[in-house]
Structure 1
Amino acid sequence: MPVVLEIHRGDITRLDVDAIVNAANSSLLGGGGVDGAIHRAAGKELVHECRLLGGCKTGQAKITGGYELSAKHIIHTVGPVWRGGDNGEPELLADCYRNSLEVARANGVRSIAFPAISTGIYDFPTERAAPIAVRTVREVTGQHDGAFERVLFVCFDDATQAAFDAALAE
Structure 2
Amino acid sequence: MQRFSVKIIKENIVKLVDVDAIVNAANQELLPGGGVCGAIFQAAGRELERECQQYIQQYGIVPTSKLAVTSSCQLKKNNIKYIIHAVGPKYFQSSSPEDELQICVNNILNQSFNVLELKSVAIPAISSGIYGFPKGLCAQIFKLVIEEYQKDTSNKQGEIILCNFDQETTTIFQKVFQQQNSF
Structure 2 length-normalised TM: 0.87
8 Å Cα contact 2:3/2:156 also seen in 1 = no
Match in the other structure for 1:95: 103
Match in the other structure for 1:113: 122
Q: Which has the larger radius of gyration?
A: 2
* 1:129 aligned partner, one-letter code: C
The structural deviation recorded for 1:122 is: 0.6
Match in the other structure for 1:15: 16
Moved more, 148-157 or 31-40: 148-157
8 Å Cα contact 1:3/1:146 also seen in 2 = no
8 Å Cα contact 1:110/1:147 also seen in 2 = no
The structural deviation recorded for 1:158 is: 2.3
Pick aligned residue for 1:66 from 64, 72, 79: 72
The structural deviation recorded for 1:104 is: 1.4
Please tell me the root mean square deviation across aligned C-alpha atoms, in Å.
Answer: 1.5
8 Å Cα contact 1:43/1:67 also seen in 2 = yes
Pick aligned residue for 1:75 from 84, 105, 123: 84
* 1:12 aligned partner, one-letter code: I
User: For residues 126-169 of structure 1, what are the alpha-carbon distances to aligned partners after superposition, in whole Å with 9 as ceiling and x for unaligned?
Assistant: 01110101211222233223433100111222221121112211
Pick aligned residue for 1:127 from 136, 139, 142: 136
Helix, strand or coil at the partner of 1:77? strand
* 1:102 aligned partner, one-letter code: N
* 1:100 aligned partner, one-letter code: I
* 1:119 aligned partner, one-letter code: S
Gaps of 5+ in 2: none
Matches within 5 A, 1:15-54: 15-16=16-17, 17-54=19-56
The structural deviation recorded for 1:111 is: 0.1
Moved more, 55-64 or 156-165: 156-165
Gaps of 5+ in 1: none
Matches within 5 A, 1:139-150: 139-150=148-159
Runs of 4+ in structure 1 displaced over 3 angstroms? Answer: none
* 2:12 aligned partner, one-letter code: D
Inter-partner Cα distance in structure 1 for 2:42 and 2:118 = 23
Inter-partner Cα distance in structure 1 for 2:85 and 2:11 = 19
Match in the other structure for 1:3: 4
8 Å Cα contact 1:62/1:103 also seen in 2 = no
8 Å Cα contact 1:13/1:37 also seen in 2 = yes
Helix, strand or coil at the partner of 1:68? helix
Identity percentage over the alignment? 36
Inter-partner Cα distance in structure 2 for 1:30 and 1:144 = 34
